[in-house]
Amino acid sequence: MKWLRLLILTLTLTLLLLPSSVSASTSAEVTITATGYVCGAPGGLTLTYISDYEVGISWTKGEDAVNTTVRAAVGRAPESRTDGYLVYYGDGTNTTDWSNNLDTLDAAVYYKAWSEKAGGVWEEGGSATEFVAGIGMILLVIGIVCLGLMIAGFVLKQAMLLLAAGLGWIMFGFLMYSKVFENAFMNEALLTLGLALALVSFVSTLTIYMRSRPPKISPEEADYQNYRRKVIEATRRR
């Protein structure tokens, strides 16, 4: 009976091990390719209008990135890392674009940046798109209009024209302060000029307004004027 028990045990162990042996011998090799996060996109893409010929660009390098590329296109956002024209490629966090004269372009220039990880692998999303447009012609038009209003206001003695000129010079100064030349001397000089002309316009407005108001007279002066008017009327009747 011992040999029968040994035979049953052997057959049982063989049946238990058979499926795993068959599965192992018939399985195929499977290659799994993972896609998704590569590295972080550049952050804080910032454009600084320096002049119609120069745009400053800065950003924060993406997490795990070693290089950043910045591309630009006129009138639309770059659609990919090969679209538009190349502005920068490297491991820095700022650059300057000298490629255009913004004042002569018919549309704004759009910028976008992408991150590259070690080994040449690029993230696909890219940064948020930013754009910049020239304002040199706008400033020139505002300056000419304001100067014309000032001259007309002085010649015609019109307070409203001078008031409009003053508000225009305030706008001129605001544009200089917020968007135009980063060159300190140029920016501060034109800002000071705009504010000075605005002050002149407002003072002239107040002066003309005060002169156009009828003078205040005392009650005694009013009585005298009434008496004089009555005497003149009585004289005419005679």
The CATH number that domain 43-132 falls under is 2.60.40.10
Backbone angles phi, psi at 109, to 5 degrees: -105, 130
Q: Residue for token digits 């800065």?
A: 58
pLDDT of residue 63: 94
Residue type, 113: A
Closest C-alpha to 111, from 97, 125, 121, 122? 97
pLDDT of residue 6: 52
**Structure-block tokens of residue 26:** 């018939």
pTM recorded for the entire structure: 0.53
Can you give the pLDDT of all 238 residues of the chain as single tens digits? 555 555 455 545 554 554 443 333 444 465 544 456 889 999 999 998 888 889 999 999 999 999 999 999 998 999 999 999 999 999 999 999 999 988 788 788 999 999 999 999 999 899 999 888 777 767 778 889 999 999 999 898 888 999 999 999 998 888 777 655 555 666 678 888 888 999 999 999 988 888 877 767 677 776 777 777 777 777 777 6
pLDDT of residue 21: 38
